Amino acid sequence: MDAKGLEEKAKVIRKHILESTCAAGSGHPGGSLSATEIVTVLYFHEMRHDPKNPKWEERDRFVLSKGHAAPLLYAALAESGYFPVETLKTLRKINSNLQGHPDMKSVPGVEASTGSLGQGLSIAVGMALGLKLQGKDSRVFCLIGDGESQEGQIWEAAMAASHYKLDNLTVFLDRNGLQIDGFTEKVMALEPLAEKWRSFGWDVQKINGNSITEVMNALKHKSDKPKIIIALTTKGKGVSFMENVPEWHGKAPDQKQLMEALEELK
């Protein structure tokens, strides 16, 4: 899929995020909307995967470390063909397999059950190391949050990835500047992020994470180190009344707000 097609797909993904969280009456739209371009490029342009054979041994892997952005992952999986799009409306409902955080045992295409912040990168490092030891050329992609980067386990995993020279691992850091308690720099300052990751032995890029073309170009970059792409994004991207507003981290739109948001996406 080319850049124009990916931009249209990203709009569809955003629509699913809004509709599913509205139907649930709960969920995390803000951080799902901020990372939409990243996940859209991965699933519809970059990654090698097969919805008809989710456990295909040669597939690339994606780990959503910021598991509360499950509406985004579910939308990408449904649009890819892992399960019917109609299932998205069952998000967080009793007996639905689409729980508030991803469950690898019940949702085809989910590589890791995540939600305890800080743990997903460790899982991705283990996957990347295992693939290397098996001599496979499959790649591992991981999406982490900036608030999540206050967790010590993130940095332990970062050390391990550099130590084992995991050049098959690419991490996106969704740098939207917000977490559940407010702006990250007020809660627990993270900067200078790029310098910190370089000091841990990583190849670092910084891009506009809401630009399809910049995400695509960043993925073309080759390195013999594990790679991190610090993606500068806007929380709630695409919906004016949600953008950069802390309360939309974990608040679902009501029906009226949904209609306003969908009108904007047109």
Domains recognised in the chain with CATH numbers: 3-265 (3.40.50.970)
Residue 142, both tokens: 């991981």
What per-residue confidence (pLDDT) applies to 85?
98
pLDDT (tens digit per residue) in 214-263: 999 999 999 999 999 999 999 999 999 999 999 999 999 999 999 999 99
- Confidence band (pLDDT; 50, 70, 90) for 169? very high
Distance CA 109, CA 42 (A): 13
User: In the chain, which ranges are E strands?
Assistant: 61-64, 140-145, 169-175, 178-179, 182-183, 203-208, 227-232
pLDDT (tens digit per residue) in 67-122: 999 999 999 999 999 999 999 999 999 999 999 999 999 999 999 999 999 999 99
The predicted model scores a pTM of 0.97
Q: Lowest-confidence range among 170-174, 180-184, 231-235?
A: 180-184
What per-residue confidence (pLDDT) applies to 75?
98
Asked whether 162 and 204 are in contact (CB, 8 A), the reply is no
What per-residue confidence (pLDDT) applies to 77?
98
Distance CA 48, CA 42 (A): 9
Helix (H, G, I), strand (E, B) or coil at 21: helix
The rounded Cα 43 to chain-centroid distance in angstroms is 11
- Confidence band (pLDDT; 50, 70, 90) for 181? very high
Asked whether 131 and 97 are in contact (CB, 8 A), the reply is no
- The whole-number average pLDDT for the span 192-219 is 98
Residue with tokens 């970062």: 158
| Closest alpha carbon to 213 in 67, 35, 43, 6 | 6
209: amino acid identity, one letter: G
What per-residue confidence (pLDDT) applies to 179?
95
pLDDT (tens digit per residue) in 28-51: 999 999 999 999 999 999 999 999
The DSSP bridge pattern shows strands 203-208 and 227-232 to be parallel
Distance CA 219, CA 224 (A): 14
What per-residue confidence (pLDDT) applies to 176?
98
What per-residue confidence (pLDDT) applies to 187?
96
